[in-house]
Amino acid sequence: MGGRRKMLLASGLVLVIVALLSVPTLAECPNACSGNGACMAKDMCNCYKNYEGNDCFDRTCQFGYAHADTPKGDINMDQLRNTPGWILQDSQEFPAGTYEYFSPDAVQNEAHFYMECSNKGLCDRSLGSCTCFDGYEGVACQRAACPNKCSGHGTCESISELGLKAPGTLFGNPDNANPVAYDLWDSKVTYGCTATYKAFVLHVYTTGTYTADTAGVPPENYVRLRLFDYHGESYITEAIPIVNDVTSTIADSNAAAVAAAIKRVPNQTFRNVLCERIGKTNGDLDGYVISARASSKGLSVICQFTENPGRLRKPEVAAYGFKGVLFFENQFYKPVSVVAGTSPNYVITLDRAFSGNSLDGGANIILYAYKVTPPDKAYQYNYVSQCSGRGICDTETGVCDCFKGYTNDNCDTQNILAL
């Protein structure tokens, strides 16, 4: 009996050992991969997309071209200094490739690999969002920020967009008449402010021939402009003397007179303005394709504000005086149309004598007149929300605090892509 018990005990022990060996085993990955990955062989986690770390607990932030990059050293610890192609691929931290060591044959602009937060920010692993260093912005800190959001007086544009600006509008390369197609690594990375300078054209036509007024004597032939600054305040210039621009020299003097009157507005409201005669070749403003009309008499200039930029209201003719009669046009857009005669005829009431041809300044009497027909909705009340619905109005100051991506005094202009 004793021998039989030993035999049974030994057999039971064998069965228990076999049963234990036949139970399927599971790898024990740290923290069960936090539910963000699959537990693989050797107790290692294979993290799902946008997660990383040994236990897949950390979030991965968005990648962008590195603004500056350096070799990372022996990341894969293979003790090799000449990785094939010099670029390490399939690294968890640098999935788009990176240098372990710089290749002696590296070309210009090559060391800007995709990096987390574009190497210009810190990744918040709990949220997966980048905290950018000062001067950089975007979901991946992928672009340079414009100073003070261009102060609301311009737009924030990439270097590739700036290169395509045509000359003659105070943009682009003044020594090159052609736009520049810039497509290097930082074409969508480097940003700068482009001020939206307002330009206007002033034509004043007369039926007489006038010469310069005597110095010190108030001009008999003059025009006064009502100007508006960025905040909507209005200012009236002093009398601007007008001389028939029959020669380029006289036309230049007309342009200088307009510029001088604008600069003399009090408190340096318009500190700098550039005015040129219409049709001037190789001028700073010849990018504006506008020509004076045939048989022009009087003044034809184009001006552009180079200070106080932004969306300015168009100037108006506030007053004028002539020994003869005149027609003036404040040309921001040029309506050219002929309206057939109607019955009954239009009745036009003027505040002073008027004769002459309003089309070209000729001597014919009232050959052309502009009839402005407002659109149907011009007299309807249109609801306009405070700050265009894209900002918060400070009711104490009346100033809009625009949301990210919008600018202007009423937040109606998109500044950059709001990501």
On whether residue 78 sits in a domain, the answer given is no
Q: Is the Cβ–Cβ distance between 133 and 143 less than 8 Å?
A: no
Q: Is the Cβ–Cβ distance between 55 and 31 less than 8 Å?
A: yes
Q: How far apart are CA 40 and CA 53, in angstroms?
A: 14
Q: What is the pLDDT of residues 11-34, one digit of tens each?
A: 544 544 444 444 444 557 888 899
Long-range CB pairs of 125-129 (<8 Å, 24+ gap) are 125/53, 125/57, 125/58, 125/59, 126/59, 127/59, 128/50, 128/59, 128/60, 128/61, 129/61
Q: How far apart are CA 159 and CA 187, in angstroms?
A: 6
On whether residue 7 sits in a domain, the answer given is no
Are residues 386 and 355 both part of a single domain? Answer: no
On whether residue 294 sits in a domain, the answer given is yes
Q: What is the pLDDT of residue 124?
A: 94
Are residues 292 and 313 both part of a single domain? Answer: yes
On whether residue 280 sits in a domain, the answer given is yes
Q: Reduce the DSSP state of residue 61 to 3 states and report it.
A: coil
Q: Which of 358, 373, 388 is the last residue of a domain?
A: 373
Task: Strands of 253-335 (E only): list them.
Answer: 273-277, 298-305, 316-321, 326-331
Instruction: For residue 28, give the amino acid letter.
Output: E
Are residues 392 and 314 both part of a single domain? Answer: no
Are residues 170 and 245 both part of a single domain? Answer: no
Q: Is the Cβ–Cβ distance between 170 and 304 less than 8 Å?
A: yes
In whole numbers, what is the pLDDT of the chain averaged over residues? 70
Q: Is the Cβ–Cβ distance between 346 and 354 less than 8 Å?
A: no
Are residues 311 and 407 both part of a single domain? Answer: no
Enumerate residues 6+ apart whose C-beta is below 8 A from 395.
Answer: none
Q: How far is CA 155 from each of CA 58, 187, 399, rounded to the nearest angstrom?
A: 37, 16, 19
On whether residue 332 sits in a domain, the answer given is yes
Q: Which of 59, 77, 105 is the last residue of a domain?
A: 59
Q: Is the Cβ–Cβ distance between 198 and 309 less than 8 Å?
A: yes
Q: 241 preceded by cis ω (within 30°)?
A: no
Q: What is the pLDDT of residue 233?
A: 83
CA nearest neighbour of 225 among 329, 319, 299: 319
Q: What is the pLDDT of residue 278?
A: 76
Are residues 323 and 362 both part of a single domain? Answer: yes
Q: How far apart are CA 92 and CA 105, in angstroms?
A: 26
Domain with 33 in it? 26-59
DSSP calls for 193-230: EEE---EEEEEEEESS---PPPTTSPPSSEEEEEEE-T
On whether residue 220 sits in a domain, the answer given is yes
Low-confidence ranges of the chain (pLDDT < 70): 1-27, 70-111, 152-153, 165-178, 195-220, 246-248, 281-283, 286-297, 307-311, 322-384, 416-419
Q: How many distinct structural domains can be found in the chain?
A: 4
Are residues 304 and 368 both part of a single domain? Answer: yes
Q: How far apart are CA 8 and CA 4, in angstroms?
A: 6
Q: Is the Cβ–Cβ distance between 225 and 316 less than 8 Å?
A: yes
Are residues 152 and 285 both part of a single domain? Answer: no
Q: How far apart are CA 250 and CA 209, in angstroms?
A: 13
On whether residue 176 sits in a domain, the answer given is yes
Are residues 343 and 391 both part of a single domain? Answer: no
Residue 39's DSSP bridge partners are 45
Q: Reduce the DSSP state of residue 70 to 3 states and report it.
A: coil
On whether residue 126 sits in a domain, the answer given is no
Sign of CA dihedral 211, 217, 221, 222: positive
Q: What is the pLDDT of residues 320-350, one digit of tens each?
A: 776 544 444 443 333 344 455 556 665 555 5
Pairing of strands 222-228, 234-236: antiparallel
Are residues 178 and 243 both part of a single domain? Answer: no
CA nearest neighbour of 240 among 338, 302, 320, 164: 320
Are residues 218 and 248 both part of a single domain? Answer: yes
Structure tokens at 209: 């021939």
Are residues 249 and 367 both part of a single domain? Answer: yes
Q: Which of 43, 59, 75 is the last residue of a domain?
A: 59
Residue 192's DSSP bridge partners are 157
Q: How far apart are CA 394 and CA 207, in angstroms?
A: 52
Q: How far is CA 368 from each of CA 327, 340, 358, rounded to the nearest angstrom?
A: 11, 11, 6
